[in-house]
Amino acid sequence: MTRTHTLGFPRMGAQRELKFALEKHWRGEIDAAELEAIGAELRERHWQAQRNAGLDFATVGDFAFYDHVANHIQMLGCEPSRFDFPGDEPELSRYFTMARGVAHEAGHEGCTHGSHDTFALEMTKWFDTNYHYLVPEFDANTRFSLASVRLFNEVAQAQKLGHAVKVVLLGPLSFLWLGKEKQAGFDRFGLLESLLAVYEQILVRLKWQGVEWVQIDEPILGLDLPEKWRNAFERSYWQLARSGPKLLLATYFSPLSENLRLACQLPVAGLHVDAVRAPGELTGVADWLPAHKVLSVGIVDGRNIWRTDVDAAYARLRPVADKHKGELWIAPSCSLLHVPFSLEGEGRLDAEVKSWLAFAIEKLDELRVLRAALDGEESAVEAELLVARAAVAARRSSPRVHRADVALRLARTVAGDDRRASSFAERQALQRVRFALPPLPTTTIGSFPQTSTIRAARVAFKRGELDAATYREKMQAEITLAVRKQEELGIDVLVHGEAERNDMVEYFGEQLDGFAFTANGWVQSYGSRCVKPPIIYGDVARPAPMTVEWTTYAQSLTKLPMKGMLTGPVTILQWSFVRDDQPRSVTTEQIAWAIRDEVVDLEKAGIGIIQIDEPAIREGLPLRRAVWKSYLEGATRSFRITASGVSDRTQIHTHMCYSEFNDILPEIAAMDADVITIETSRSDMELLRGFGDFKYPNEIGPGVYDIHSPRVPTTDEMVRLMRKAATVVPPANLWINPDCGLKTRGWPETEAALANMVAAARQLRSELAAA
Ligand code: GLN
Ligand code: ZN
């Protein structure tokens, strides 16, 4: 008999109940007890959903009020000492302080804290997902202890409801790996022994509570690990094996590769593998895994929203079921945290696209159908199998998915389509003449403050309460305001301000063919923040210009150059749910051609400078280094396709933020943008050093101030940063701009900061002239 389970379930609730409860709690509208009650109710519902789908276990330990890694920080007793919590501060309040910090903004009224703000834990991306976890901090003084009973209470809650409980824990090696040293020269690896001792205590206590299975997640087994870390697995798991419950070691997100045998041989009772991301390894795992161990196959895609092709899944599972003599479990490939809650009540998707999808609730149900098929009980799920097969067949042959014109366009791509006509040096010379900009030209990254009036107008327009003409007038008024302000400030290359855009991906997706949008397809990004990624279901094409009208309107208001503003293909792909029926690189290239059409149309409309934002290039990097090269080649090629339909006189900008660039500089150079603007101010221009060492050939605008804070930087600060930048990059190639778009800021601080920025540019120009 096959068993079914899930590695984890979305926490937010069907209607994002957790988000709203958290935000009420943070505003002081509900107390901790009320918040706890809502959390308990959500867990209860989510376990019930697992029971309804006939799963053999209810998974406990995946719930978190903010983040599961933060839960482990508290359970393992390693809250960083810098928070200096008073002894009687309640657990939940400490938790939210670690997650959100205590802000005492400069000049903030009644602030008695001077400069000792309490910064939140750093947040970073959970592997290659768009979920962000809170980063544990380690130093020589880090001690571990079993410091929270939250997990045990949740176990008791589930048991009381009559569930067969499987607990999920983040494994000790992954927990340690995901943290950061906060002390020079300290190696967190040295903390392993003391950490293991606390994991043992946790396991003993779970056993004592009557828990039979503990799923222990070690996703780092899918990374390129240093030898020392790999070697630590065996002894660590020998130590944990003594303690009690049966351990199901769970891996996901990428192939195990050289760690496959290691994973199969660890002294645990079962192994979960991701058969969606690493289908090719399934046979190897079935060969290597001893018969007494449980094999859990992650067969339903936990990272994407497509309905499972049951016949393909069956064909993959059958030989494994026959070969593996031990118990077989089936599950989603990873936690369902990364997909929306349910399709039920989804009103924005059309019926056809909807029939191709499965969200978390539907994925649980797919396990039930698959299990029946595997166990020879097909007749019990006959009707469901018919529906599932019909949907998969319809999607495969739908003309909405496959378009001959798009295929033809890609097939006709010739060498050179991804190259500008001339070299950068030749383009630069032409552009210098055309734009006649001063040295160290100033610009901004695209968006200006998204005021409440702007948002209200957009919402009213979407709801049909505002007609198109009135909406256009309102947006044009915002554009006019932005242009006037930039002219008054003395900025050299202007932007229209992006007032009409809700989001840099959704705005384009809504106007492109092949994209669908949900009403309620929310996925947790961090804490209470959720995102609603578009779904790319079909071949991508651009039926009509998307930005030309707004941009030319803006240009008509000024003699200064107006920069067109687009989102690049890699970023659009990265922040969407992507087709699983063709390689990601093909979808990216389709988007690239659609955006290229827009670039060409902007040029035709007289726009001479066009920025194509690619903030997500770095975060799209695969988890395994071995496949970086092919990803980066595809990504840079797609960018160049978007940028290469224009003449040498047209200046192409790109923008990237929050990234470590140093290990991908050759590829950034291979994008061959005439100008790149990047975030550097938070690193005090250190990020730029790599560009200098690498002798990055094209022009660069290193961000001179952090737009994430309302603080107004002084002219002197920005002058200092630019002087530093000029030591690594030739001044003739430098631009001056903020770190990123200004949409989250207010106008007063934006104007003050930009005025200082322009003053800094002027001061530096006169210094240059005098030199
Ligand atoms: N052009 C966008 C803006 O200014 C860029 C946003 C981003 O880099 N994330 O808002
Ligand atoms: Zn940015």
Ligand nearest to the CA of 446: 1
pLDDT in tens, 581-606: 999 999 999 999 999 999 999 999 99
User: Are the CB atoms for 168 and 219 separated by under 8 Å?
Assistant: no
pLDDT for 345 equals 87
Ligand 1 pocket member 443 (CB < 6 A): no
Residue 609: in which H helix or E strand, if any? strand 609-613
Question: For residue 659, how many other CB atoms are within 10 A of its CB?
Answer: 18
Ligand 1 pocket member 610 (CB < 6 A): no
577 in helix, strand or coil? strand
- Residue 193 confidence (pLDDT) above 70: yes
pLDDT for 660 equals 79
CA 126/CA 251 separation, integer angstroms: 14
Q: HEC string of 4-50?
A: ECCCCCCCCCCCCHHHHHHHHHHCCCCCHHHHHHHHHHHHHHHHHHH
pLDDT in tens, 261-313: 999 999 999 999 999 999 999 999 999 999 999 999 999 999 999 999 999 99
Give the residue, out of 445, 507, 562, 611, with the most ligand 1 atoms within 8 A of its beta carbon, to mutate for a pocket test.
Answer: 445
User: Are the CB atoms for 508 and 642 separated by under 8 Å?
Assistant: no
Indicate the annotated binding residues for L-homocysteine.
445-447, 498, 613
pLDDT for 383 equals 96
- Which ligand 1 atom lies nearest to the CA of residue 445? 4
The residue whose two tokens read 């915002």 is: 478
CA 315/CA 493 separation, integer angstroms: 58
Ligand 1 pocket member 741 (CB < 6 A): yes
Average pLDDT over residues 145-163: 98
In sequence order, the 6+-apart residues with CB closer than 8 A to the CB of 180 are 122, 135, 136, 137, 138, 188
Average pLDDT over residues 237-243: 92
User: Are the CB atoms for 73 and 175 separated by under 8 Å?
Assistant: no
CA 651/CA 117 separation, integer angstroms: 42
Give the DSSP per-residue string, 84-148: ---TT--HHHHHHHHHH-B---TT-TT---TT--BPPPPEEE-TTSS-EEEPPEE-TT-------
Please choose, from the candidates 169, 179, 144, 156, the residue with its C-alpha nearest in 3D space to the C-alpha of residue 74: 144
pLDDT for 103 equals 64
Q: Which residues pair with 609 in a beta bridge?
A: 563, 651
User: Are the CB atoms for 334 and 319 separated by under 8 Å?
Assistant: no
CA 200/CA 244 separation, integer angstroms: 8
CA 206/CA 410 separation, integer angstroms: 56
In sequence order, the 6+-apart residues with CB closer than 8 A to the CB of 99 are 66, 67, 70, 120, 121, 134, 527
- Residue 685 confidence (pLDDT) above 90: no
Q: Which residues pair with 493 in a beta bridge?
A: 443
Using alpha carbons, list the distances in angstroms from residue 41 to 14, 18, 20, 46, 206.
12, 10, 14, 9, 22
Using CA atoms in the order 264, 265, 270, 272, what is the torsion angle rounded to 10 degrees?
Answer: -30
**CA 292 to ligand 1 centroid distance, Å:** 53
653 in helix, strand or coil? strand
Q: How confident is the model at residue 113 (pLDDT cuts 50, 70, 90)?
A: very low
In sequence order, the 6+-apart residues with CB closer than 8 A to the CB of 97 are 83, 85, 118, 120
pLDDT in tens, 371-402: 999 999 999 999 999 999 999 999 999 999 99
Q: How many residues does the chain have?
A: 771
CA 755/CA 474 separation, integer angstroms: 26
Please choose, from the candidates 192, 160, 155, 198, the residue with its C-alpha nearest in 3D space to the C-alpha of residue 62: 155
| Catalytic annotation, pick one of 5, 292, 653, 708 | 708
CA 751/CA 766 separation, integer angstroms: 23
- Which ligand 1 atom lies nearest to the CA of residue 611? 1
Ligand 1 pocket member 571 (CB < 6 A): no
- Which ligand 1 atom lies nearest to the CA of residue 615? 8
Average pLDDT over residues 195-218: 98
- Which ligand 1 atom lies nearest to the CA of residue 501? 10
CA 333/CA 331 separation, integer angstroms: 6
Q: Which amino acid makes up residue 296?
A: S
* DSSP 8-class letter at 494: B
Task: Go through 482-516 and write b for each residue having 16 or more CB atoms within 10 A of its CB, e for each that does not.
Answer: bbebbeebebbbbbbbbbbbeebbbbbbebbebbb
CA 398/CA 633 separation, integer angstroms: 30
Q: Which residues pair with 165 in a beta bridge?
A: 58
pLDDT for 244 equals 84
- Residue 569 confidence (pLDDT) above 90: yes
- Residue 489 confidence (pLDDT) above 60: yes
- Residue 533 confidence (pLDDT) above 80: yes
Please choose, from the candidates 682, 754, 702, the residue with its C-alpha nearest in 3D space to the C-alpha of residue 119: 682
Indicate the annotated binding residues for L-methionine.
445-447, 498, 613
Residue 298: in which H helix or E strand, if any? strand 294-300
> Counting Cβ atoms within 10 Å, is residue 357 exposed (0-12), middle (13-18) or buried (19+)?
buried
pLDDT for 114 equals 41
Q: HEC string of 68-94?
A: HHHHHHHHCCCCCHHHCCCCCCCHHHH
Calculate the average pLDDT of the chain: 95
CA 232/CA 237 separation, integer angstroms: 9
Indicate the annotated binding residues for 5-methyltetrahydropteroyltri-L-glutamate.
16-19, 125, 529-530, 575, 619
**CA 526 to ligand 1 centroid distance, Å:** 19
Q: What is the sign of the dihedral through the CA atoms of 548, 551, 554 and 560?
A: negative
Tell me phi and psi for residue 519, to 5 degrees: -90, -30
Q: How confident is the model at residue 680 (pLDDT cuts 50, 70, 90)?
A: confident
Ligand 1 pocket member 740 (CB < 6 A): yes
Q: HEC string of 429-489?
A: HHHHHHHCCCCCCEECCCECCCCHHHHHHHHHHHCCCCCHHHHHHHHHHHHHHHHHHHHHH
Q: How confident is the model at residue 201 (pLDDT cuts 50, 70, 90)?
A: very high
- Which ligand 1 atom lies nearest to the CA of residue 567? 1
Q: How confident is the model at residue 659 (pLDDT cuts 50, 70, 90)?
A: confident
Q: Which amino acid makes up residue 604?
A: K
pLDDT for 589 equals 98
pLDDT for 567 equals 98
**CA 356 to ligand 2 centroid distance, Å:** 34
CA 367/CA 388 separation, integer angstroms: 12
Ligand 1 pocket member 445 (CB < 6 A): yes
Ligand nearest to the CA of 496: 1
Tell me phi and psi for residue 644, to 5 degrees: -100, 10
Residue 565: in which H helix or E strand, if any? strand 563-567
Category of 629 on φ-ψ map: left (φ > 0), alpha (ψ -120 to 50) or beta: alpha
Please choose, from the candidates 638, 643, 591, 590, the residue with its C-alpha nearest in 3D space to the C-alpha of residue 612: 643
Category of 490 on φ-ψ map: left (φ > 0), alpha (ψ -120 to 50) or beta: left
Please choose, from the candidates 67, 76, 197, 50, the residue with its C-alpha nearest in 3D space to the C-alpha of residue 121: 67
Structure tokens at 504: 């840099």
Q: What percent of the chain has pLDDT over 70?
A: 98
pLDDT for 474 equals 97
Please choose, from the candidates 406, 330, 334, the residue with its C-alpha nearest in 3D space to the C-alpha of residue 368: 330
pLDDT in tens, 709-765: 889 999 999 999 999 999 999 999 999 999 999 999 999 999 999 999 999 999 999
Q: How confident is the model at residue 104 (pLDDT cuts 50, 70, 90)?
A: low
Q: How confident is the model at residue 115 (pLDDT cuts 50, 70, 90)?
A: very low
Q: Which amino acid makes up residue 771?
A: A
* DSSP 8-class letter at 258: G
Active site residue 708: yes
Please choose, from the candidates 45, 52, 36, the residue with its C-alpha nearest in 3D space to the C-alpha of residue 15: 45
Q: What percent of the chain has pLDDT over 90?
A: 93
Ligand nearest to the CA of 565: 1
pLDDT in tens, 34-64: 999 999 999 999 999 999 999 999 999 999 9
CA 38/CA 16 separation, integer angstroms: 11
Please choose, from the candidates 46, 53, 58, the residue with its C-alpha nearest in 3D space to the C-alpha of residue 159: 58
Q: Which amino acid makes up residue 630?
A: S
* DSSP 8-class letter at 554: H
User: Are the CB atoms for 486 and 302 separated by under 8 Å?
Assistant: no
Q: How confident is the model at residue 117 (pLDDT cuts 50, 70, 90)?
A: low
**CA 576 to ligand 2 centroid distance, Å:** 18
